[in-house]
Structure 1
Amino acid sequence: MNTETVPAFGGPEPVAPVTRHVQVVANPTAGGFRFQTLDRLVARLDDLGVRTDVRLTRQAGELVEIARGLSPTVDTLVVGGGDGSINEAVRGLVDRPAAPPALAILPFGTANVLAAELSLPFAAHRIAESIVARKIAPLYLGRIGDRPFLLMASAGFDAAVVHGVDPKLKRRIGKLAYVAAIFRLAFRRDRPDVIVTADGETFTCRIAVATTARCYGGPLTLTPHTGVTVPGLRLVTVDDDRPLALLKAGVMLGLGRLARLSGVTDRAVVKVRFAGADVEMQVDGDPIAPTNGSIEAHPRVLSIITA
């Protein structure tokens, strides 16, 4: 395998040391959204002497523009939503020419992998107190082509499930909508191989995931060798997506031992590409159009507020 030069990773761009002005942006269509939770967060921030502005999104993609155009007085952006909403915020923050504010999460959404990854609190008062306590960690990102991602980009059966989920069913039954899509797609044999080029080596598999994160689908461990506060990318590939193999992979994923399964690889990578005729792809749980864009670490590092 050809080994490329490993990039040097810096720390996050400097953010204000004290929380004074918080912008909360919430997605009211996110799974598990509750106005009461939002109200409790704002009330507690007010009790703690923090100026708080609240805005609700009305359409997909709006959070990108909001994050990109935040007032320079905002020192903290709180995203109330799932991983898709957080992804939008990240895309806007990395587009800002000036140093972005710290990012905080009010966890809603179907799975909210980032909240599981960072063991974030779900109680509104605890989130408010974490924002004011300002315990900050670096948030390392990836990008596919010129599109930043928060957690992962994948191709193959994993992405086909994301494409196959009925949005209305997802709003009604949450994660079970993914289970329904898995059962519907698992017995189809017309899915193509994923052609992976990783640091100069080319091979085929059935599922390929380039990830900055440890977690997958919530609290499940995809790889124990990284996390969003750790620089660099991991590539996890699965060679067999027949029904019995998928069942075994699901069990091992639940046990945090996926890489011990035959036909699974887990490696550090610098640059990856996914290709293949009719291969489907997804980013952070949202379907995307197929692309052979390079997948690599993003040069900008954000700051995330943790518990």
Structure 2
Amino acid sequence: MSHAPAAFGKPLVQIVSNPASGGHSLRRLEQLRDAYVRNGYDAIFSESSPVTPFELATGVARVCIAGGDGTVRHVLENPEMRTSGVAVDIYPAGTINLIAREWGVPSDPDSFVQQAADRPARCLFPVGLNDTCFLACASIGPDARAVAGLSVALKRRIGRLAYVVAMLNVMANWQRPSVQLVVDGRRIDCEAVFVAKGRFYAGPWSFAPEARLESPELHIVALRRARRRDMAIFWLAMMIGKVDRLKNVEFAKGRELSIASDISQPIQADGDIAACTPAFLAVRDDPLFL
């Protein structure tokens, strides 16, 4: 869904979505457009996906990213977004939007637009990951292998439940390749690793409750063993906020992280497979202000 801009007398907002994502709703996008119009804007729609890269329209005053974390990442990777000076709003849509959750963004379109117009800019530090970046979280291990095996068509039909199906396939074909981490010069040997840039992971849960999007620091949680029962215990501990009590876990903080593995492994970043091992992660020195 894409429309070229016309000559508008009001400030123009470009509403960006990924029509192939889970939770995509044309009706909700139209409600969001109507909310902007009621607040003095004109609006156009455009798309952003791995197949259709985001392009900033001419004359835009604001960009509203209406999608999940993957869509947010794809849009903000566009070099124009660092130099254009346009305001950026992040509306919670798609499968999961951890950034909007951490910032307490309302899902009601009118409340969202009114808050976006009144709030100050927020600071967000991206994390470089090989030749790409991520914003909220990354991981290597069973959950990343589930994302790698995810059916896009199934995700479009049933949303985040598609991850459950993919994880069942991972459970049936369990692997435990070793991973070697170096965090600001400190080595950690493990079988699974979770990296937090923001507070939340996979929804309302957190394995690093002190992590913040506006802080230039990575919070790393490494599982020394990643057997089925180890992962089940870890996920349960994350849901009840007790990860810090696990004996199988090693914690670290830093701005840089090198990752190697016995075999090439997929790296999940903001809900998508963004790279494979070996990898180098580093918090970027120049934050985004959204």
TM-score per shorter chain, which class? 0.7 to 0.9
Matched residue SS, 2:83: coil
Q: What is the deviation of 1:255?
A: 1.1
Task: Work out which of the residue numbers 177, 194, 206 in structure 2 matches 1:221.
Answer: 206
- Aligned letter for 2:12? H
Residue number in structure 2 paired with 1:9: none
Tell me if structure 2 keeps the 8 A contact 1:214–1:225: yes
How big is the shift at 1:81?
1.3
3-state SS in 1 of match to 2:257: strand
Matched, 1:282 2:272: no
| Structure 1 Cα separation of the partners of residues 53 and 90 of structure 2 | 14
2: distance between equivalents of 1:45 and 1:97?
23
Cα displacement (A) at 1:249 = 1.0
Change (3 A) 1:179 1:97: closer
Partner of 1:35: 26
Q: How many residues align?
A: 280
CA deviations on 1:117-174 (whole Å, 9 max, x unpaired) are 2221111111111222234311121111231211123222221121122222222222
Describe the shift of the 1:61–1:302 C-alpha distance in structure 2 as closer, same or farther (beyond 3 A): farther
Partner of 1:268: 253
Residue 46 of structure 2: SS of its match in structure 1? strand
1:204-245 CA distance string (max 9 Å, x none): 211112221110001111211111122221112112221222
Does the residue aligned with 1:28 lie in a helix, a strand or coil?
Answer: coil
Provide the rounded CA distance (Å) in 2 between the counterparts of 1:227 and 1:61: 31
Q: Which residue of 2 aligns with 1:88?
A: 74
CA distance in 2, matches of 1:281, 1:247: 20
Gaps of 5+ in 1: 1-18
1:214 touches 1:221 (CA, 8 Å); kept in 2? yes
Alignment of 1:150-189 (within 5 A): 150-189=135-174
Secondary structure of 2:31 counterpart: helix
Greater RCO structure (CA 8 Å; 6+ sep): 1
Deviation at 1:292, TM superposition (A): 2.7
Which runs of 5 or more residues in structure 2 are unaligned?
Answer: 1-9
Query: Deviation per CA, 1:48-107, whole angstroms, max 9, x where unpaired?
Result: 1123222234x525344x1xx454x43321111111111101111x56562542321222
Matched-pair contact (CA < 8 Å) for 2:265–2:277? no
- 1:25 aligns to what? 16
How far apart, in 1, do the equivalents of 2:65 and 2:46 lie? 10
Structure-1 separation of matches of 2:175 and 2:206 = 29
- Counterpart of 1:76 (choices 45, 62, 66) is 62
1:142 aligns with 2:142: no
The one-letter code of the counterpart of 2:148 is: H
Which AA in structure 2 matches 1:238?
A: L
C-alpha change, 1:89 and 1:61, in structure 2 (3 Å) is farther
Name the aligned partner's letter for residue 17 of structure 2.
A
Query: CA separation of 1:155/1:95 partners in 2, compared to 1, >3 Å: closer, same or farther?
Result: farther
Which residue of structure 1 lines up, in the alignment, with residue 6 of structure 2?
none
Q: 1:158 to 1:22 in 2, by over 3 A?
A: same
Kindly state the Cα deviation for residue 188 of structure 1 after the two structures are TM-superposed: 3.6
Please name the residue that 1:8 is paired with: none
Q: TM-score, normalised by structure 2?
A: 0.88
